[in-house]
Amino acid sequence: MDTTRIENAHMTDHDTDENGCTLCELPVEGSAIVDDGDAFCCVGCREVYNALETVENSC
Ligand SMILES: [Zn+2]
């Protein structure tokens, strides 16, 4: 058995600094959702952001 593997528990800084979620500003990872140049951490954030934009445009 190989039990010598060490899990890296540290959150290393990848190149995601400029890819924070447009809505909640959480750092997004490789599976980021990009919509029209805006990155989101999840579909929910994208939906909320689009809904807010729609509201603003309709006022
Ligand atoms: Zn988000």
pLDDT band at 44 (very low <50, low <70, confident <90, very high): very high
Q: For 1-42, how does the pLDDT look when each residue is reduced to its tens digit (9 = 90+)?
A: 666 665 554 544 444 456 689 999 998 877 789 988 899 999
The answer to whether residue 2 sits within a structural domain is no
Domain, as residue range, for 34? 19-58
The answer to whether residue 12 sits within a structural domain is no
Q: How far apart are the CA of 38 and the centre of ligand 1, in A?
A: 11
Q: How far apart are the CA of 24 and the centre of ligand 1, in A?
A: 4
Residues whose CB is less than 8 angstroms from the CB of residue 42 and which lie 6 or more positions away in sequence, other chains included:
21, 33
Q: How far apart are the CA of 5 and the centre of ligand 1, in A?
A: 33
The reported pTM is 0.59
Beta-carbon neighbours within 5 Å of ion ligand 1: 21, 23-24, 26, 41, 45
Buried/exposed code over 23-54 (b: 16+ C-beta within 10 A; e: otherwise): beeeebeeeebeeeeebbbbeebbeebeeeee
- Yes or no: say if 29 and 11 are a contact pair by the CB < 8 Å rule: no
Domains contained in the chain, number: 1
Q: How far apart are the CA of 31 and the centre of ligand 1, in A?
A: 12
Q: What per-residue confidence (pLDDT) applies to 11?
A: 47
pLDDT band at 45 (very low <50, low <70, confident <90, very high): very high
pLDDT at 59 over 80: no
